[in-house]
Structure 1
């Protein structure tokens, strides 16, 4: 099997030679495409995003993988900022802020020992001026090849953090979802796993903290059944960071194998090889595409020189092809119409879906409010509402990503040049900024009655009863205040108190419903704007990609036309020499393509167990 490093070296050499050929042919546009392919081949980093619910052991797992305490761990305080851990010759820590609305990044070096104060909840509200993340570098063998671990905040804590995690998933090469062994996968975890599977095809489920549960095998078996029932394809591994750290301290190989962290590291390394192999395959496709455009020009001139009698027919064919390519760049082109109509429909559908989901949350909140006293349970209702709004936005985000990829596929089918169609990579911006802008839920007072207020309401209600029944009983010769009038007063006082309590409860419920509606309306307003901007960005990416491809093809046709006409006018005495040179150029282009294909020989397409729920077995402790 070809090692990824060897494949990268071979591909880099092929790209350099193809770039030189493109430059000699006067095609700087193709050279730029090859430069992007070269950058992709040179990048051996593979992002492994570690996600999961709050307090599942994500930071401890990353620390165990790199055998260093780089990500802060606490029993109570949670991670609040994504932390990127990558290779470096020495231990460093940097805070990186991507300013909102600006193509600018602020990097601030900090003492690694002070990282806890910046990436946990101790830092308070973060990301006010943009997306904040921390980056840690250190020399570790597991990182040297190019693996990059991203420790994320726990899902289910706040709206913006959960949205940030979803934003990271489409950019991830590998996603590791962590759940602990103390319980089976919950519905929120399964929902998040489903989202992760939609956004990143390389998904691994890690059952952590197996040291806390002697019956972890039953939990793993149940989790596997849940994944199969949900139709989620993910490998499952079992780990214990505590046992791993103990094994490292004791240098106990058997205990190290028990911990399962080394097995996870091997699995991630195989995923690294698979990701790079796919990256190299895309580079080979780009090399073949550029080679085809260059060969088109050479073939046109060669056909005219080798077969002069076909010169007129070749020029006619090139003219027709050039007209077809010209039509592809016009706004009236079929793919342009499909993109425009599909984008409008996509934006409308995504916005309707968002409104429908959030209004459903509002209706469920109204039912919850009607069945409880908001004054007593408002904090719980607020937590549920925040999680429900985040879940609705997350579902909408995943659906928008899926629909965007579908639109790209549909447009690519209408945009076919020379029998080929390509789909650009789409990266959707997240909704964390919009979620932060929503604000908090208005507070609903408990409106509890004090003892004095209860007495005053009771006395006020009982006064009429005592007076009315006292006057009636005086006709029978009884005193104004007698047992009958007192009893009537107590009954009417109690009725007045219950009526006042009922009115106050109804007022609190109405106030709570208004607060929920205001939050839902604000969420629809903020997230809809963010979603519309995001999808308009997708439209621009698709349009620019396909127009660029059409322009490249059109330029190759124009050059083919020029070379064909030049060849037709060439003196017969010079044609033999020119034909030999053109055939050498074609052979060189073909050899470059063959070398690019050969560089991938033996590289893995997928790991042997990709897509299969696999459970790592280890003996009970």
Structure 2
């Protein structure tokens, strides 16, 4: 086949360094940021700064356990599982031609192959956070990968069978080098109609918590309107999105489809790289050891962007944060030494210096108290944020409920329910997505205002808060379809005849009365009238039955829609409240820790100044020389931290 890797967009990425292979993890040399953290940790321990040690140890742990989640998203039967299998050269995801994946499946690195099913927790402690299965959970159930496929997949016609009702997710661990760097791949359930699919909520939730999204379409046709709409939303939710064009080995016209998709993306103002992929060619190339064929499959280019740009980019951001933390800790320890040096070098000014240090200590202690300005700003702004977010969610769902009622009132649910349901899911997902964007906006405003009051660098705090703000959306179950029972044609005619029988009864009564009155001819004259009345009343009875039937159907549809929206309100309100609380706590804890460190530094600076005042002339000279040597050494470390990406000048 012609090489799909010849696409100009995929060619701009370097090829992967060989196929993913099994085996134990290779020894990865520590990064410059890790070595810097170790050095500053030892320095903090030597100077007995337990507070700095605790923060630096946390940053060290974040570097050692850093992971990068990539959600694989797409419409039903587009090849998401096939893509993951080909990328890792192992059948980790089910790819049955009929069955489809029903729950999210997380693939991570493990020294040996493992598989775990995650069952729903009891109702008393069930969690809404189930789009990305955690690595440990009270209801985790170890299984084989084959058994996992049997449970998590079912034919589309079967829907959510009994075997899947309690399964909320699955996790697979395999020994692959591509995953060893911390890459996590999440295979999401396929959609049917983009945002109009009830499962789109879980997909958006997974994307909101992911570092990147691989959107899978295939070369059978150009991107559909629902796919483009979903892509636009994913770009708003996730920092990185790439488009995979699968099955180019099956469709010879894949280049035309690729070019058409590029045109659609340009019109939608989406600049996304496209990767044409051929899974069978990938597997054949790896078995035959043909790197040239592997390059033509398109998978090395995709692996390279995942490994270097996405995983590497996230690690680079974490290393920058770690280097900034190391530089900040060094700055505090350096300030203590410079304070002592100033007091030793100029004893006459030492007492004035000590007075300033005492004032600084009092101000620093004030920042740790409840009456601190930044704490008041945090409390006031958090309350305002909570009120605005509650009102926003209530208004959106209330307006949606009114719109649903109006739409149902002017429709025939038995005939239009599929369209109504798709419209309801689309509007619900749109409302929740817009609310999530508002949460993010409010969180950024809160961080900016509070950190300004704290007089700290807001950029570093924002980076620390990043994981809590993309809290995914809560999981919403698809609404249950109402049952529309329609009166059949035979039953309808029978009921119409019964209604028309009233007219015949009127004729019979009229004929009897006329006969008793001696007017025999009146019965003959009334007979045609009775037949006409029978037809008219029968027709009206049929119309009345139809009206009652439509009324009942509308009531059932409205009841079903309201139940779905009530569940939406419950889950979304809980998710929003959890996100607000996590934002508040992380911001409060981060700034409290910084205030405590500042207070400790101020106290130690004052104590160093006091020791200098009491020192004799001889001991002062010896100590001054030692302190100057320490200052020079720490300044060189600060310079190293600046070179690691912090921009801190020595």
Query: Is the TM-score greater than 0.5?
Result: yes
The answer for the alignment partner of 1:23 in structure 2 is 45
Q: Secondary structure at the match of 2:354?
A: helix
Aligned pair 1:490/2:542, yes or no?
no
Q: Corresponding residue for 1:234?
A: 272
Aligned-residue offset at 1:250: 5.8
Partner of 2:12 in structure 1?
none
* Residues 532 and 327 of structure 1, relative CA distance in 2, 3 Å threshold: same
Task: Note the C-alpha offset of 1:72.
Answer: 0.7
Aligned partner (choices 118, 121, 124) of residue 151 of structure 2 = 118
- Specify which of 543, 552, 556 is matched with residue 601 of structure 2: 556
Which residue of 1 is the match for residue 474 of structure 2? Answer: 432
**Residue 219 (structure 2) aligns with:** 181
Partner of 2:35: 13
Per the alignment, residue 152 of structure 1 pairs with 188
Higher mean C-alpha deviation, range 299-308 or range 197-206 = 197-206
Give the length in aligned residue pairs.
595
Specify the SS of the correspondent of 2:112: coil
CA 1:386–1:419 in 2, change beyond 3 Å: closer, same or farther?
closer
**Structure 2: distance between partners of 1:514 and 1:418:** 51
Task: Give, in whole Å, the separation in 1 of the partners of 2:341 and 2:458.
Answer: 22
Give the structure 2 partner of residue 196 of structure 1: 234
Name the CA distance, whole Å, in 2 between partners of 1:519 and 1:87: 38
Does the aligned pair in 1 maintain the 2:354–2:609 contact within 8 Å? yes
Pair 1:137 & 2:180 matched: no
Any idea what the Cα deviations from partners look like across 1:78-133, whole Å, max 9, x if unmatched? 22333232334433323356965699624443222222023334884799889633
Say which SS state the counterpart of residue 174 (structure 2) adopts: strand
1:284 CA displacement: 0.8
CA contact (8 A) 1:304 1:311 kept: yes
**Greater mean deviation of Cα atoms: 16-25 or 399-408:** 399-408
Counterpart contact for 1:84–1:150, Cα < 8 Å: yes
Deviates further, 398-407 or 242-251: 242-251
Which residue in 2 is equivalent to 1:365?
404
Match of 1:609 in 2: none
**Structure 1 Cα separation of the partners of residues 564 and 273 of structure 2:** 39
Q: Is the 8 A contact 1:321 1:557 kept in 2?
A: yes
Relative distance call for 1:406 and 1:188 in structure 2 (3 A) is farther
Aligned runs of 1:342-357 on 2, under 5 Å?
342-357=381-396
Q: How much does 1:441 deviate?
A: 4.1
Aligned-partner Cα distance in 1 for 2:581–2:400: 27
Give runs of aligned pairs for residues 578-597 of structure 1, distance below 5 A.
578-597=623-642
Q: Give yes or no for contact 2:451–2:458 (8 Å, CA) kept in 1.
A: no
Summarize the Cα distance change of 1:597–1:462 in structure 2 as closer, same or farther, 3 Å threshold. same
Matches for 1:466-505 after TM superposition, within 5 Å: 467=506, 471=510, 479=524, 482-505=527-550
Question: What residue in structure 2 maps to residue 410 of structure 1?
Answer: 449
Matched-pair contact (CA < 8 Å) for 2:44–2:50? yes
Which runs of 5 or more residues in structure 1 are unaligned?
Answer: 602-621
How far is 1:258 from its partner? Answer: 3.2
Contact kept? 2:207, 2:237, Cα under 8 Å: yes
Matched residue of 1:432: which SS?
A: coil
Task: Give the structure 2 partner of residue 269 of structure 1.
Answer: 307
Question: Is the alpha carbon distance of 1:431 and 1:127 closer, same or farther for their aligned partners in structure 2, counting shifts above 3 Å?
Answer: farther
Distance 2:305 2:202 in 1: 26
Compared with structure 1, are the counterparts of its residues 53 and 505 closer, same or farther at alpha carbon in structure 2 (3 Å cutoff)? same
Mapped partners of 2:459, 2:486: distance in 1: 69
Matches of residues 509-524 of structure 1 in structure 2 within 5 Å? 509-524=554-569
- Runs of 4+ residues over 6 Å off in structure 1: 101-104, 125-130, 157-160, 418-421, 472-476
CA shift at 1:563, angstroms? Answer: 0.9
Stretch deviating more after TM superposition (302-311 or 464-473): 464-473
- Structure 2: how far apart are the matches of 1:364 and 1:144? 49
Cα-to-partner distance string for 1:587-614 (whole Å, 9 max, x where unaligned): 222222333444569xxxxxxxxxxxxx
Deviation at 1:363, TM superposition (A): 3.4
Shift in alpha-carbon separation, 1:164–1:562, aligned structure 2, 3 A: farther
1:50 aligns with 2:76: no
Question: Is 1:540 matched with 2:585?
Answer: yes
Within 2, Cα distance between the matches of 1:361 and 1:312? 69
1:38 aligns with 2:65: no
The CA deviation at 1:408 is 1.9
| Range with greater deviation from structure 2 (576-585 or 180-189) | 180-189
